[in-house]
Amino acid sequence: MGARDAARAIDALRRGWAVTIRADDGALRLMAVEGADAVTLKDFDPAGKADMLISAARAQTLKLANQIAAADPDMPVRIGRAPWIDGDVAMAIADPVRDLASPLKGPFVAAALGAPEAAKAALRLARLAGILPAYFVTAEGQGGVEAEVTGEDIAAYDDAAHLAVATRARLPVAAAESAEIVAFRSPDEPREHVALIVGERNEKPPVIRLHSECLTGDVLGSLKCDCGPQLHQALHQIADAQWGVLLYLRQEGRGIGLVNKLRAYALQDQGFDTVDANVRLGFAIDARDFSVAARMLDLLGIGSVRLLTNNPAKVAGLEAAGIKVVERLPIILPANPHNERYLATKRDRTGHQL
């Protein structure tokens, strides 16, 4: 029960194993399209009758717009299995990056969801597993499963409440020689977040930066985004302020994971902007949950902050999680030819301010 079952289900999905997702309105037996191969698919569905479950956004792209529930536009869509849908075709249905290479798909026939709440939970689980939100689906009991999970288990996994300080140590960094690093861990989920504390605590609210992991920008020096320069600029601004904390949050790709972010990049290569790319993949524009950051600040004894950000949603997210933001401090950096459009999209479509 609880987060442990969600952890098992996430592991199973990533390996291409079957899981059952249970909700008040019923249960679905699922296997991730992304993890399936000919052998596991045959095992899951020997008769080749399993339907597919995809996001509403994906259904829209596949011209199943009439299947999207007006009352709940986030409700997934179930596609009836046709004989021509094999593992390869299923992957082309699942992955929008392949649309240019395999544009002609369909016609699709929609099927009744069976258990709508379980279907929604399945999509949440896909995001946590960092996989494409697309499944083969059967009714419960049509074969074996490796894990069983409920919507409550998934919520428990995603709950920052059990995050605790694991250890702390001195960490001299270029921006601040006397910094201290604090590592946080939760027994429920594997991502380890860290805080870098700079300067001496005083009675003023500290300058805080919430930095979401960006492997490409932070480590490889990607020019597509502004993460790397922002990270260093933030550390210098905190050091200048004499007291503050940088939280390094393991929320790669605004919470959709590295592989899905790189899929979003592949869509950007095809002309979509950062917002449309996320939506086309079947994810929220920003899937981050800032309660993790709030919990970390809480554990550090910090209740009110001056927040370094251009993103009003971060201010709102942190405040909603119980941290008082007394001031927003902008981070101003020059654009480059590769991130100009990304920064313009953030300004024009997600309300970023300077």
Q: Contacting Zn ion (CB under 5 A), which of 227, 247, 279, 296?
A: 227
Answer yes or no whether residue 22 interacts with ligand GTP by CB under 6 A.
no
Indicate if 328 belongs to the active site: no
Q: Contacting ligand GTP (CB under 6 A), which of 40, 138, 186, 278?
A: 278
Distance between CA 2 and CA 13 in Å, rounded? 17
Q: How far is the CB of 282 from ligand GTP (least distance, A)?
A: 12
Q: Give the angle subtended at the CA of 50 by the CAs of 23 and 116, to the nearest 5°.
A: 25
Q: Closest CB to ligand GTP among 26 and 228?
A: 228
Q: How far is the CB of 229 from Zn ion (least distance, A)?
A: 10
Answer yes or no whether residue 30 interacts with Zn ion by CB under 5 A.
no
309 among annotated binding-site residues: yes
Q: How far is the CB of 350 from ligand GTP (least distance, A)?
A: 7
What is the pattern of x (binds ligand GTP, CB under 6 A) and - over residues 312-331? --x-----------------
Stretch in the footprint of Zn ion (CB under 5 A) among 146-154, 209-217, 247-255, 336-344: 209-217
What are 313's strand-pairing partners? none
Indicate if 288 belongs to the active site: yes
Instruction: Report which of 89, 22, 83 is spatially closest to residue 54, judged by C-alpha positions.
Output: 89
Strand order in the sheet with 26-32: 110-111, 77-79, 51-54, 134-139, 26-32, 19-23, 147-150
Number of residues that bind Zn ion (CB under 5 A): 4
Distance between CA 103 and CA 107 in Å, rounded? 12
Instruction: Report which of 296, 218, 310, 294 is spatially closest to residue 261, judged by C-alpha positions.
Output: 218
Residue from 95, 153, 286, 295 carrying the catalytic annotation = 286
Distance between CA 258 and CA 248 in Å, rounded? 15
Q: Contacting Zn ion (CB under 5 A), which of 96, 217, 244, 317?
A: 217
222 among annotated binding-site residues: no
* Alpha-carbon torsion angle 302, 304, 309, 311, nearest 10: 120
230 among annotated binding-site residues: yes
Cβ 133 vs Cβ 123: under 8 Å:
yes
Binding site for ligand GTP (CB under 6 A): 212-214, 225, 227, 230, 251-254, 256, 261, 264, 274, 278, 309-311, 314, 346, 352
Active site residues: 286, 288
